[in-house]
Structure 1
């Protein structure tokens, strides 16, 4: 892929991550465990795990956003660094959204065919949690499709360098 195409993609990812960070920060800054319990009484440990998963996603998005900004603000564009960053965004942000390490929610892959949201929870959760993930899903789906190339391309390059 040419430098201008990779740079354009990195710029799009920067915009996507900026919006994601903004939404997650707003949600996490305004939401408490006691508010969640008032909205829908549930298991504290489960709610804490969901909030922890969202914080992890936020941190991953923030770190990758910063990296995108640094690469794009450099006088000389480093295509290799940009491609590696896009690969990391795919793994640390996109995959973390659809399949978090905490396993508090998961992707129902069949939902994409029905036009429904693909994020499902293992237990009952307050609507505000459902809404925040629902509001992010379309962009995560879009960038998942756009960045899958870097997943296979980067792995291929790594295997060839051995």
Structure 2
């Protein structure tokens, strides 16, 4: 893959992460556990897990945005560093969005066939939470499709180096 393509993808991802960071920050700055419980009575511990995971996603997205910015600002574009960064972003941001480690929600893989949103929560959540994910999902899906190449390319390179 040529430098110009990788650089273009870095710019797209940086823009996506900038927007995503703003959305997550706005949500977290305006949302408390108490407010979620007032909006919809539910499992307090489950709501905590969701908020914890959103905070984690925010940190991953901020770190990814900073990494993209540094690579794009360097005097000479470092393709290897960019590809490694895009691979890491795929795992830390994209995969964590669709399938968080703490299992706060999951991706319904059949949703691609139905045209519906794929993020499913194990329990009912306030509309504020479900609307956040509905609003972000298509952008995350688009970036995932862009970055899947780095996932398979990196694994291939790792197998060949053994």
Deviation at 1:159, TM superposition (A): 1.8
SS in 2 for 1:102: coil
Cα distance in 2 for residues equivalent to 1:155 and 1:110:
26
The within-5 A match list for 1:82-161 is 82-161=82-161
Mind listing any 5+ residue stretches in structure 2 that lack a counterpart? none
Tell me the C-alpha RMSD between the 2 structures. 0.6
Deviation at 1:161, TM superposition (A): 2.1
Cα distance in 1 for residues equivalent to 2:58 and 2:100:
12
Cα distance in 2 for residues equivalent to 1:2 and 1:82:
12
Cα distance in 2 for residues equivalent to 1:112 and 1:54:
23
Match of 1:29 in 2: 29
Deviation at 1:112, TM superposition (A): 1.6
Cα distance in 2 for residues equivalent to 1:161 and 1:57:
31
Cα distance in 1 for residues equivalent to 2:81 and 2:160:
18
Q: Deviations over 1:94-119 (max 9, x none)?
A: 00000001101000011121111100
Runs of 4+ aligned structure 1 residues displaced above 4 Å come to none
SS in 2 for 1:140: helix
Q: Deviations over 1:73-101 (max 9, x none)?
A: 00011000000011011100000000001
SS in 1 for 2:133: helix
Match of 1:59 in 2: 59
Match of 2:43 in 1: 43
SS in 1 for 2:106: strand
Q: Deviations over 1:115-142 (max 9, x none)?
A: 1110000001000000001100000110
Cα distance in 1 for residues equivalent to 2:142 and 2:153:
18
Deviation at 1:155, TM superposition (A): 1.1
Give TM-score scaled by structure 2 length.
0.98
SS in 1 for 2:120: strand
SS in 1 for 2:128: helix
Match of 1:77 in 2: 77
